Amino acid sequence: EPEVTQTPSHQVTQMGQEVILRCVPISNHLYFYWYRQILGQKVEFLVSFYNNEISEKSEIFDDQFSVERPDGSNFTLKIRSTKLEDSAMYFCASSPSGSPRNEQFFGPGTRLTVL
């Protein structure tokens, strides 16, 4: 069964450093998403991506964040200058379309720890 994969599973970085989190969505899916979950809190939407551009973003997704689909398979989230409060689980998801009828398939997540 196809699945969303994410690398690395755990990333430790120093405050102020740049990090890139990687995701490989399901191959025939067209919509891609990033969510985050701070320890003990809700899963929060960050950004959705379709047709090589951002289709929607939340208030969390400020200028420090960017997303890219550099090739036909990877989908990345870059945090330009990490802060302590960026420590969280980051989940990538993909969906065949943006229709409310379609489910989203989530990856296992990357745990980001900012020291």
Q: Which residues bind other proteins (CB under 8 A)?
A: 33, 35, 42-45, 48, 56, 58, 89, 91, 93, 98-101, 103-109
Closest separation between CB of residue 6 and other proteins, Å?
A: 8
The answer to whether the beta carbons of residues 33 and 97 sit under 8 Å apart is no
CA-CA distances (angstroms) from residue 93 to 43, 86, 112? 12, 19, 17
Closest separation between CB of residue 108 and other proteins, Å?
A: 5
Question: Is the CB of 87 or the CB of 109 nearer to other proteins?
Answer: 109
Closest separation between CB of residue 48 and other proteins, Å?
A: 6
| Single-letter code of the amino acid located at 17 | Q
Interacting residues of 24 by C-beta distance below 8 A, sequence separation 6+ = 4, 5, 6, 73, 74, 75
CA dihedral of 14, 20, 21, 23, whole degrees rounded to 10: -170
Closest separation between CB of residue 92 and other proteins, Å?
A: 8
Question: Is the CB of 57 or the CB of 69 nearer to other proteins?
Answer: 57
Question: Is the CB of 14 or the CB of 53 nearer to other proteins?
Answer: 53
